[in-house]
Amino acid sequence: MSRNWTKPALAVSLAINLLVAGAVGGALLTDRGPGRGGPTGGPPELRSFERGLEPERRDALRARLREDPALRGGRARLRATRGELVSVLRAEPFDADAFRAALSAQRAVQTELVTRALEAMVLTAQEMAPNERAALADVLARRRR
């Protein structure tokens, strides 16, 4: 039985992973990110949450994200995993196991960055008064429609 589908499947998987890495890394960690004149970026949940916050809470969330050492180093770590993917793809003969490992390493970095950003949301919500959380919930509920 021929496995002609494996290379296209791996290429699609790579494209999806690079898209996610670019979205997370680029939006969350670019020079237009928090405190530099642009939105926070990151996972959609974070963007919606941030937009629903009062300005002072939004500033505090952005500061928390900026101060997180894992997020600050995230861009370099994503770049390193992307470099490894490129190296593996260029190597001859192609090593599917090395490619899987490189994809897994990239996914681990992406997952850590998203997890850290979501934890910042939890800490921000935890600091809010009940009426602030209710107002935020109202804003988020209106945006879902």
Rounded percentage of the chain residues whose pLDDT exceeds 70: 70
Query: Quick one: pLDDT at residue 32?
Result: 42
- Read off the amino acid at residue 99: F
User: Would residue 124 count as lying in a domain?
Assistant: yes
Q: At what angle do helices 44-52 and 130-144 cross, to 10 degrees?
A: 120
Rounded Cα distance, 130 and 140, in Å: 15
User: Would residue 3 count as lying in a domain?
Assistant: no
Residue for token pair 């921000």:
124
Contact 53, 132 (CB under 8 A): no
The mean of the pLDDT values for the chain is: 80
User: Would residue 17 count as lying in a domain?
Assistant: yes
User: Would residue 4 count as lying in a domain?
Assistant: no
Residue numbers of the domain that contains 128: 10-29+39-144
Q: What is the CATH number of the domain that holds 103?
A: 1.20.120
Return the structure tokens found at 31: 């020079």
User: Would residue 93 count as lying in a domain?
Assistant: yes
User: Would residue 125 count as lying in a domain?
Assistant: yes
Domain count, the chain: 1
Is this structure's pTM higher than 0.85? no
Query: Quick one: pLDDT at residue 41?
Result: 52
Rounded Cα distance, 130 and 138, in Å: 12
- Confidence label for 30 from pLDDT (cuts 50, 70 and 90): very low
User: Would residue 106 count as lying in a domain?
Assistant: yes
Query: Quick one: pLDDT at residue 18?
Result: 54
